[in-house]
Chain A
């Protein structure tokens, strides 16, 4: 935005996380009295983000017939991509469906492998005008369209207080994004969907229009989310298997895909979608390559 409005010629956007320190964890400094939106959930033992998303997941599965196998499709696709990404934390740790199904619970119906990693790390992107980017060393990724949205009634992580809890921020963001873009979901070559938890991928696939509501489970079947599948998704391993940097590493992977430099490269990828979280006020961006 600063570049587009002439406030500067070059901008650097970055994100770092250091969760190894106890003081930086969500429970550091917790008080026995909770205020704001949390007063309606935390006292009843709905304590963590995984609990809040598990609540939506249970209902999603009930309404649409989705199963743990569908959630496993998400986790296994991310892990397979990470196994082929030298920078991924989980590069050397394959994951099988059996291991997924036998993993310990964190918040039923979500198990350990439905959760993202915790990572100390940082990454950054350099943003400049397209006329300056053309003669730089690396091929540019053009910001084709982007949008930010918050749906009516929404409060962070508690979609279940909204009239329609299974139609969350992604739907509101998608409406604006596709309105601004010159393409639609069918033209997207590769997607990086924010994955703090595996069910967010299913909701995002529906919200951004890659399939109809309730159909993301079957959409993920087979190799649906892998390179060569219906929609190659989270091709670096993303938050669940590369690193969890609040989604910033999804942006860098989206850039690599349109540059042709991903270790899980989608042939001829020219339209690359990257999204923020379903479940919180969100945003999404479409990057375009030079094709």
Chain B
């Protein structure tokens, strides 16, 4: 309650994990191209290099390397605390390493966040994108170790 004094309880639990809330800039990514990326990330109206408002969608290889990763531990939102510790990775794309995506390393597209032992993850590992089953019209990009 606003203004209520003192410490009272844990954060509000969220029953399921979080989903992106697409906006005008990001809708083509989440619902159109479905996540191979383009050379402006995150999507935004203007190119940070030449200030152009023009944009096209490019199909990329979906391959990259792990640039960094973290292993979160609780306290976390309930849906994430249940699977902690898990990995969160940042992937740099093969085509343009300065284009980076946040995501998770999994073995199967619908795998839980803790499917891969987070302590086996290494910077520089080659990965390739896969796509989780649609939830509420959203397809989430995920990453598997490249064969």
Contact = CB atoms under 8 A, between A and B. Distances in A.
A143 B6 CA distance: 38
A54 B72 CA distance: 9
A155 B42 CA distance: 10
B71 A108 contact: yes
A46 B70 CA distance: 8
Interface stretch (A55-63, A86-94, A178-186, A220-228): A55-63
A30 B20 contact: no
Contacts of A34: 18-21
Contacts of B16: 32
A62 B18 contact: no
A45 B88 contact: yes
Residue among A32, A54, A59 with max Cβ neighbours from chain B (10 Å)? A32
B131 interface: no
Given A44-B102, A104-B73, A55 B90 contact: yes
Contact of A21 (B4, B12, B73, B104): B4
Given A20-B7, A55-B70, A27 B22 contact: no
A165 B9 CA distance: 36
A41 B102 contact: yes
Contact of A27 (B12, B19, B71): B12
Contacts of A28: 11-12
A59 B100 contact: no
Contacts of B9: 22
B55 interface: no
A129 B22 CA distance: 49
Given A20-B7, A23-B2, A161-B41, A36 B80 contact: no
A14 interface: no
B3 A21 contact: yes
A44 B71 CA distance: 12
B53 to A, nearest CB: 16
Contacts, number: 143
B71 A107 contact: yes
A45 B5 CA distance: 30
Interface in B10-26: 11-12, 14-23, 26
Interface in A132-169: 152-153, 155, 160-161, 163, 165
B70 A22 contact: no
A58 B85 contact: no
A27 B6 contact: no
A120 B72 CA distance: 26
Nearest to A23: B2
A20 B90 CA distance: 33
Contact of A58 (B20, B98, B123): B123
Interface of A: 20-23, 25, 27-37, 39-48, 51, 54-56, 58-59, 62, 104-109, 152-153, 155, 160-161, 163, 165
Interface of B: 1-9, 11-12, 14-23, 26, 30, 41-42, 48, 67-73, 76-77, 80, 85-86, 88, 90, 98, 100-104, 113, 118, 123, 140
28 contacts: A20-B6, A21-B4, A23-B1, A23-B3, A27-B77, A30-B12, A30-B77, A32-B14, A33-B19, A34-B19, A34-B21, A41-B102, A42-B18, A43-B17, A44-B103, A45-B76, A46-B88, A47-B18, A47-B72, A47-B77, A47-B80, A54-B70, A54-B72, A55-B88, A58-B68, A58-B123, A59-B68, A105-B85
Given A33-B20, A45-B80, 15 more contacts: A20-B6, A21-B2, A21-B3, A21-B7, A22-B4, A22-B8, A33-B19, A35-B22, A40-B41, A44-B88, A47-B72, A55-B70, A58-B123, A59-B68, A107-B73
